[in-house]
């Protein structure tokens, strides 16, 4: 083992220019490119999924509870808020928050334009960090549990259509059969999540102000929005919620509410998987080809070592070590390039995207350390296993035949 290591080290890291050194450098470059592409593809995929999930979750939460209704639409049947149940659900493991909400359809009217909108009424203690993150200008309204507020958050899409800005008041009409109610809310802030399908539909309002439109008191809600600490626990919490609610309530995950978005991500999953498999195949072929070339070049050396009594397995260790050097160097360089590029992309958003198509304006990258470790260990294991294919040729080389390659 030690002899094979020292010979391989001498051949691979010889400072003098040689054919072996050139071939080794090319092999390291090929492996680096392959692992770099795999890391970037996987990180971009996870980045896409995280960004889109976080944006949809910002609108609907991980889990949404509503009353079943016969008619379809954005408005749902009202029910009395059960604060005791809310406190019990909050104590469930992995539940990070639960808030009541009301979706109420209305019409916004400027001097020249009418625009349909859904006012989502949220409570004072709601976590507004999602809207703060995507706030373009203005500020998050200050809501309390004791005073009605008519300040709203409006999307940049809707504000541009109505030619409105922060600080403006807008006519808002709620129409229930023959009854029309008029409000004049103040636009406190304007946000843009890049999810235009959602931005064009929703505006954010105070729960109390919407409750006063749909009922005579502040006890009503149309649903509960529940957030979970980690995505993998969503199904578990969804099943547990069945213990708190009767058959009249629908418990839907964000995937249930917006399946088309996640089906699109599944298609992206397939494309990235194909790229990853192809890159691993390229890396394996490179390793096998390079080792074959190195073995053929060193046939005279192999013949001499065999004539001196060296076993084929001992000679094979030389090329095992050479393969290990190539893989290790390739992985280190590939990781460095991929992570360096990802860091620059996340910070400066060099590669832009069409927000209307991709729901974000720049390529995202998100790769947890455990995934990075699995990718590297998998690449190292798979490629190293395939190094035994060319090394088997050594067993067929006889000292007498090696003279022809002298």
Average pLDDT estimate for 351-359? 87
Residue 64 lies in a domain: no
- Is the Cβ–Cβ distance between 109 and 170 less than 8 Å? yes
Indicate if 378 and 309 belong to the same structural domain.
yes
Residue 364 within any structural domain of the chain: yes
- Residues 110, 218: one domain? yes
Same domain, 234 and 269: no
Total structural domains within the chain: 2
Structure tokens at 373: 């470790």
Asked whether residue 145 is assigned to any structural domain, the reply reads yes
Give the residue from 141, 144, 143 showing the smallest Cα distance to 152.
141
Q: Say if 41 falls within a structural domain.
A: yes
Q: Give the end of a domain, one of 220, 247, 274.
A: 247
Q: Are residues 229 and 314 in the same domain?
A: no
In this prediction, residue 321 has a pLDDT band, given cuts at 50, 70 and 90, of confident
- 247, 272, 287 — which closes off a domain? 247
pLDDT at 344: 95
Same domain? 16 vs 110:
no
Identify whether residues 284 and 312 lie together within a single domain: yes
For strand 114-122 and strand 202-206, is the pairing parallel, antiparallel, or unpaired? parallel
Is 328 found in the same domain as 181?
no
Q: What confidence category does residue 178 fall into, taking pLDDT thresholds of 50, 70 and 90?
A: confident
In 334-382, beta strands by DSSP E: none
Residue 59 lies in a domain: no
**Strands 63-67, 223-228: pairing kind:** antiparallel
Give the residue with greater pLDDT, 195 vs 77: 195
Please check whether residue 253 lies inside any domain of the structure. no
Predicted local confidence at residue 171, as pLDDT: 95
Average pLDDT over the chain, rounded to whole? 87
Q: Are 352 and 361 in contact (CB under 8 A)?
A: yes
Quote the tokens at residue 113.
Answer: 């334009």
Same domain assignment for residues 343 and 224: no
Q: Does 169 have pLDDT greater than 80?
A: yes
Q: What percent of the chain has pLDDT over 90?
A: 52
CA-to-CA distance for 229 and 264, rounded, in angstroms?
24
Could you say which of 212, 247, 282 is where a domain stops? 247
Residue 362 has pLDDT above 80, yes or no: yes
Same structural domain, 85 and 160: yes
Res 284: pLDDT = 83
Residue 257 lies in a domain: no
In angstroms, the Cα distances linking 310 to 307, 388, 394 are 7, 18, 12
- Give the distance from CA 9 to its chain's centroid: 41
Does residue 252 belong to any structural domain of this protein?
no
pLDDT at residue number 356: 80
Q: Which residue range(s) make up the domain with 147?
A: 69-247
DSSP bridge pairs for 180 = 175
pLDDT digits (tens, 9 = 90+) for 83-138: 999 999 999 999 999 999 999 999 999 888 999 999 999 999 999 999 999 999 99
Residues 295, 399 within the same domain: yes
* pLDDT of residue 179 exceeding 80: yes
Low-confidence winner among 196-200, 216-220, 234-238, 381-385 (lowest mean pLDDT) = 381-385
How confident is the model at residue 251, as a pLDDT?
Answer: 95
Say which range, 161-175, 217-231, 318-332, 381-395, has the weakest mean pLDDT.
381-395
Residue 270 sits in the same domain as residue 396: yes
User: Quick one: 237 and 282 in the same domain?
Assistant: no
Residue 75 has pLDDT above 80, yes or no: no
Q: Which H or E run contains 369?
A: helix 369-386
- Collapsing DSSP to helix, strand or coil, 313 comes out as helix
């Amino acid at each position: 083992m030690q002899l094979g290591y020292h010979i391989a080290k001498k051949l691979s890291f010889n400072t003098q220019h040689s054919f072996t050194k050139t071939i080794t450098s090319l092999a390291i470059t090929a492996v680096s490119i392959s692992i770099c592409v795999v890391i970037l593809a996987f990180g971009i995929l996870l980045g896409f999924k995280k960004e889109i999930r976080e944006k949809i979750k910002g609108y609907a939460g991980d889990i949404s509870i509503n009353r079943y209704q016969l008619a379809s639409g954005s408005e749902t049947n009202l029910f009395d808020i059960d604060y005791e149940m809310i406190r019990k659900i909050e104590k469930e493991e992995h539940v990070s928050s639960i808030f009541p909400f009301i979706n109420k359809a209305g019409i916004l009217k400027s001097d020249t334009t009418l625009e349909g909108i859904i006012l989502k009424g949220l409570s004072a203690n709601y976590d507004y960090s999602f809207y703060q993150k995507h706030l373009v200008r203005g500020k998050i309204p200050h809501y309390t549990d004791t005073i009605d507020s008519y300040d709203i958050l409006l999307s940049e899409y809707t504000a541009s259509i109505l030619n409105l800005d922060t600080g403006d008041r807008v006519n808002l009409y709620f129409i229930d059969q023959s009854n029309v109610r008029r409000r004049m809310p103040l636009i406190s802030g304007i946000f843009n999540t890049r999810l235009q399908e959602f931005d064009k539909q929703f505006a954010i309002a105070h729960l109390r102000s919407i409750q006063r439109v749909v009922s005579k008191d502040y006890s009503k809600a149309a649903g509960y929005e529940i957030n979970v600490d980690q995505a993998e626990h969503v199904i578990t919490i969804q099943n547990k919620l069945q213990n708190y609610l009767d058959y009249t309530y629908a418990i839907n995950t964000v995937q249930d509410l917006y399946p088309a978005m996640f089906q699109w991500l599944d298609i992206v999953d397939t494309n990235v998987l194909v790229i990853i498999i192809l890159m691993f195949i390229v890396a394996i072929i490179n390793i096998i080809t390079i080792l074959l070339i190195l073995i053929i070049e060193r046939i005279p050396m192999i013949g001499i070592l065999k004539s001196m009594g060296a076993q084929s397995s001992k000679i094979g260790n030389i090329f095992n070590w050479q393969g290990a050097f190539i893989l290790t160097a390739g992985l280190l360089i590939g990781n460095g390039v991929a992570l360096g590029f990802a860091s620059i992309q996340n910070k400066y958003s060099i590669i832009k995207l069409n927000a209307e198509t991709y729901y974000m304006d720049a390529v995202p990258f998100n790769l947890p350390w455990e995934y990075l470790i699995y990718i590297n260990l998998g690449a190292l294991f798979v490629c190293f296993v395939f190094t035994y294919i060319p090394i088997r040729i050594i067993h067929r080389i006889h000292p007498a035949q090696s003279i022809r390659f002298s």
